């Protein structure tokens, strides 16, 4: 059905959080520019990019994306970026149990200090590195379910599930 009267233009503040090196900047680069950078530099402070997608009902969603720095020295800045965010995407690396523990830390922090109606997405990135996997799909799924989050595994390298991640978030917007 194509009802132009139902179409909307949404603007959404989205923040990416997670350990340094899990691939946050690569996910954004893949989503916004369709590229992958194997020599991606660590983010300093945070970087901002935006990207608009169209949904099937002709609603457009403009994601205003804050890609935060995962290094510990920047942790105190995080509230500046997640404050007022409608969506938080919390990323870990499926080859790193430490990064999965860090993701859980961010979930708790957002549950305490994020907007009460924030949409939380849990992302297991680097799904192309199956042979080095340390965090099972089940671990990710169960943790996300317990915490009322949306869960997906992605690869910024192969582009697997990157568009799907943002489309699924868009579907969950009020
Ligand atoms: P900070 O900015 O320090 O918080 O790190 P980050 O989470 O932004 O990590 P970044 O995107 O810079 O990626 C870190 C490293 O992981 C880079 O060498 C990337 O090329 C690599 N990388 C990112 N995503 C993937 C992926 O899906 N698969 C593989 N194999 N490597 C990836
Ligand atoms: Mg980065």
Question: What does the pLDDT look like over 15-69, one tens digit per residue?
Answer: 999 999 999 999 999 999 999 999 999 999 999 999 999 998 889 999 999 999 9
CA–CA distance, 109 with 8 (Å, rounded to integer): 32
Of ligand 1's atoms, which has the minimum distance to the CA of residue 156?
27
Check pLDDT > 60 for residue 2. Answer: no
**How far is the centre of ligand 2, averaged over its atoms, from the C-alpha of 83 (Å)?**
19
Residues 6 or more apart whose CB falls under 8 angstroms from that of 30 comprise 36, 156, 159, 162
CA–CA distance, 153 with 118 (Å, rounded to integer): 20
Q: Tell me: the pLDDT tens digits for 65-118?
A: 999 999 999 999 999 999 999 999 999 999 999 999 999 999 999 999 999 999
The verdict on the CB of residue 124 being under 6 Å from ligand 1 is no
Q: Which pLDDT score, from 0 to 100, does residue 4 have?
A: 53
Kindly give the interhelix angle for 137-146 and 97-113, rounded to the nearest 10 degrees: 10
- To which H or E segment does residue 64 belong? strand 60-68
DSSP assignment of 26-44 equals HHHHHHHHS---TTPPPPS
Report the nearest-CA residue for atom 13 of ligand 1.
23
Whether ipTM tops 0.85, in short, is: yes
User: Structure tokens of 154?
Assistant: 């992605």
The verdict on the CB of residue 102 being under 6 Å from ligand 1 is no
């Amino acid at each position: 059905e194509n009802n132009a009267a139902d179409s909307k233009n949404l603007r959404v503040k989205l923040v990416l959080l997670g350990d340094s090196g899990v691939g946050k900047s690569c996910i954004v680069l893949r989503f916004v520019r369709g590229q992958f950078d194997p020599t991606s530099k660590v983010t300093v402070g945070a970087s901002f990019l935006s990207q608009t997608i169209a949904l099937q009902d002709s609603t457009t969603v403009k994601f205003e994306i804050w890609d935060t720095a995962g290094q510990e020295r920047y942790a105190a800045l995080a509230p500046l970026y997640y404050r007022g965010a409608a969506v938080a995407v919390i990323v870990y690396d499926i080859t790193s149990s430490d990064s999965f523990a860090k993701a859980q830390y961010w979930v708790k922090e957002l549950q305490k200090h994020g907007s009460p109606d924030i949409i939380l997405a849990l992302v297991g990135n680097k799904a192309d590195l199956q042979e080095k996997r340390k965090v099972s799909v089940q671990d990710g799924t169960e943790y996300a379910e317990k915490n009322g989050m949306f869960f997906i595994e992605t690869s910024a390298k192969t582009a697997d599930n990157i568009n799907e991640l943002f489309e699924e978030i868009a579907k969950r917007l009020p």
